[in-house]
Every structure is written in structure tokens, then in C-alpha cells.
Amino acid sequence: MPDVVTEFIRLVQIDSPSRNERALADYLRQRFQELGIMLTEDTAGQNINGTAGNLIGFLPGDAREPLLLCAHMDTVKSNQGIEVVTKDGKISSKNQEHILGADDKVGIAAIIQFVQDLVRKKLPHPPLELVFTVAEEIGILGAKELSITQLQSKAGYVLDSGGPIGTIVNQAPVHYEYTIKISGRAAHAGYAPEYGISAIQIGARIVTALDLGRVDEYTTANIGRISGGEADNIVPEFAQLTGEVRSHSLARAQQYLEQLRNTAVEVARDYGGVAEVRIKESFPPIQLPVEAKVIQVAQRAASKLGVEPQLVTSGGGSDANILNGRGISCANLGVGSYFEHTREEYIQTADFVLLVEYLKVIAEEW
């Protein structure tokens, strides 16, 4: 069994759901110390009420500009007690009883093996900056707390996309979360309903008035939760709608959100109520041109390995969104995992080996 697979199995057996990455962080600090790299921990854990912060390490190299490699430590949920099986070159959870945690421990294992090969075989490489983040799965919280002033790199890669090796995510949407708080007027639903103003009814009218789903070629919008009311016999005084907007066009997203705000306020006013809309950007977009160094290097490296590079537009977010928004040019690379966030999650042994080789060729091309 390749060393990288053994490392991966060791990693997935360290339970690390979001905000509970302490055991994995301690393991990684020890593991990299064995390779002569000190990982420092920031205060992200304290800031997000987690057990561990982001880890940052540096491996000196030649005269080239530094290269950043990033992966996240947390998994979408606990896989405590997992047993890993390898059959016909496929690595998965035994009887599919747990998530495998390939998202993103594939990325971590590949980085460990890559660095180990560089150090032990004394291979030439650019200076390497390593970042392992926390709480990515619950809003990219760790990356948002990362202090960019601690980093030297201006470009690099996040190893956190599903799909085959050679997948290069160079476009990803901006993401906004919104909350619509609706105020009506309470009344007894049995003998004085005419004195009430139903906040839930206003909410329903707002939902039907909004353009939801795939709004246009750039933009999607959704209302995911509706809550409100106190009892069945009270006209509900309060209601709340929460949702999201994603778009590959920042201007289009902002235009949609302005329309949403105006629609909610007007509908509520027509019914005698009040609507307050709160909007928060969750993460900025990735919009890397084909000419960007990170794209050109990743494409050349894939081709050298006999792999067809594929530029991909993603509908989701990752640490790469935050890093790009902070001025570090980062592409998100496919790591060869499939069915992430489910118990059917798996990766092929051959892809693991290929991913490590991919990193080596990227370092050569850098």
C-alpha cells in the first residue's frame, strides 16, 4: 500500500468535525515537526468557539517565489469509529457506515507525502507555505480568521475540489446570506382575526413575489428556511425567512439583492406590516483568468502527467474564495474524491499516487 494511502487512513481515523479539530491539529504539528517544519497555530479557534486554530508552516526553498498549499482539517460531520476498507483499488468506509472524510483529508495526506518526499529526497522546490484551516465546512470560518500578514505567498493552490486529478477550479461564485424579518400584528385567530396582520401570510406573499431558483445564467437564489408564529390560535406577529444568493457576476448579485429588499419591504407595507432585510456576504468570488500563473502551471503539470486539464466553474465555495478575496491568487484543485459529504464517498488508490506526483510537477513548473 502506498505511503500516502497509509497516511490518509491514519488521518481519517482522527475524528475532526467542524470546531473540533484539536486532535488532528496536534497530530499535524507532530507529523510536520518530524519533517523539520514547525506549524504555528493562530487564534481562529478562540474566535469561532472551536478547539483549534489554523496551522501555518514554512519550508524554505530556492530563489523562486513562494508557493502556497492549503487544505482544511474539518469534516462535514463526525466519523467516529470509522473502519476504512480498500478493495479493487478503491478506498471507502466499511459498509458505508460513515462518511470517509476524504473532504479534505485527501488534500492533507497528499501535502504530507509531497513534503516528505521533498525533504527526504532533497528535491529542488520553491519556498513552500502550508496552511491547514479549521471550520471550512460551516462557512469557511477558519480562512476568514486567517491573518494574511502572516503569509509570504502571493499565489498557490487549495486542494479541496472533488472530481478527477487535472480539475482546476478557476471560477466560483460570490455568496450572500440574507434574512427577512417580518413584523405584523397579533390577534386571536378565533374571534378577532380581522384585527391581526399575519406575518406568515406576508412571508408567503414575499416568497411568491421573488424570482427563485436559477435566476439567470450567472445567478441562483433560494429561500431555505421559514419560521414564525407562537400558537395555532394566534395570528402570527413575527416571521422570518432566510436564504442565499450565489452569482458569478458581482453586479448581478447586488442587483438581485436590491430587488429582493425592495420587494420584501413593499409587500409587507401593502399588508400593513414591516419587513427588515439583512444581507451578509459569506465569501467573495473566484475569477481567475486563463493567463494567471496558477492556471498556466496547473495546466502544464497535468499535461506532463498525461492528464487532460479541465478548467471548471464551481457553484460552491472553499478556502480559495477567501484567499482570492484577500489578494492571494489561488485555484482549487480536484483531488480525485467522489460523493463528498455522503457515506458513499471514495477515492482510488491510483489517484492518490497521481495527486502527489501532480504536486511535484507543479513545484517543478513553478
Do residues 137 and 74 touch, judged by C-beta distance below 8 A? yes
- Which residues in the chain show pLDDT less than 50? none
Interaxial angle between packed helices 3-12 and 349-365, expressed in degrees from 0 to 180 and rounded to the nearest 10:
110
Residue 225 class from Cβ within 10 Å (0-12 exposed, 13-18 middle, 19+ buried)?
exposed
Q: What is the CA 109 to chain-centroid distance, rounded?
A: 18
Q: In the β-sheet with 238-247, what is the strand arrangement from edge to edge?
A: 213-214, 219-228, 238-247, 174-183, 274-283
CA 92 to CA 348: how far, in whole Å?
9
**Cis before 104? omega within 30:** yes
Look up residue 326 and give its amino acid. R
Q: What is the pLDDT of residue 226?
A: 97
Per-residue pLDDT at 1:
75
Q: Catalytic residues, which ones?
A: 74, 136
Q: Provide the angle, in degrees to the nearest 10, between the axes of the packed helices 3-12 and 102-121.
A: 140
Distance, CA of 299 to CA of 309 (rounded, Å): 5
Tell which residue, 354, 348, 263, 326, has the closest CA to residue 70.
326
Q: What is the Cα–Cα distance from 40 to 258, expressed in whole angstroms?
A: 42
**Please, what sign has the CA dihedral across residues 78, 313, 207, 256?**
positive
Domains in the chain, please, with CATH? 3-172+285-365 (3.40.630.10), 174-283 (3.30.70.360)
Q: What is the pLDDT of residue 128?
A: 98
CA-based torsion, 55, 56, 59, 61: positive or negative: positive
Per-residue confidence (pLDDT) for residue 150, from 0 to 100: 87
Determine phi and psi for 235, rounding to 5 degrees: -60, 125
SS3 call for 306? coil
67-103: string of b/e by CB count within 10 Å (b at 16+)? bbbbbbbbbbeebeebebeeeeeebbbeeeebbbbbb
Note whether 257 and 228 are within 8 A (CB): no
Residue whose grid cell is 481567475: 288
**What pTM was estimated for this model as a whole?**
0.92
b/e for 327-337, b at 16 or more Cβ within 10 A?
ebbbbbbbbbb
The CB density around residue 315, as the number of other CB atoms within 10 Å, is 11
Biggest distance spanned by C-alpha atoms of the chain: 84
* Residue range 234-269, pLDDT digits in tens: 999 999 999 999 999 999 999 999 999 999 999 999
Collect contacts of 52-55 with beta carbons under 8 A, ≥24 apart: 52/21, 52/22, 52/24, 52/25, 52/26, 52/134, 53/25, 53/134, 53/142, 53/145, 54/131, 54/132, 54/133, 54/134, 54/142, 54/143, 54/145, 54/146, 55/25, 55/28, 55/29, 55/130, 55/131, 55/132
Over residues 176-187, the pLDDT tens digits come to 999 999 999 999
DSSP string computed for 9-56: HHHHTS--BTT--HHHHHHHHHHHHHTT-PPEE-SHHHHTT-S---EE
| Residue 148 pLDDT | 87
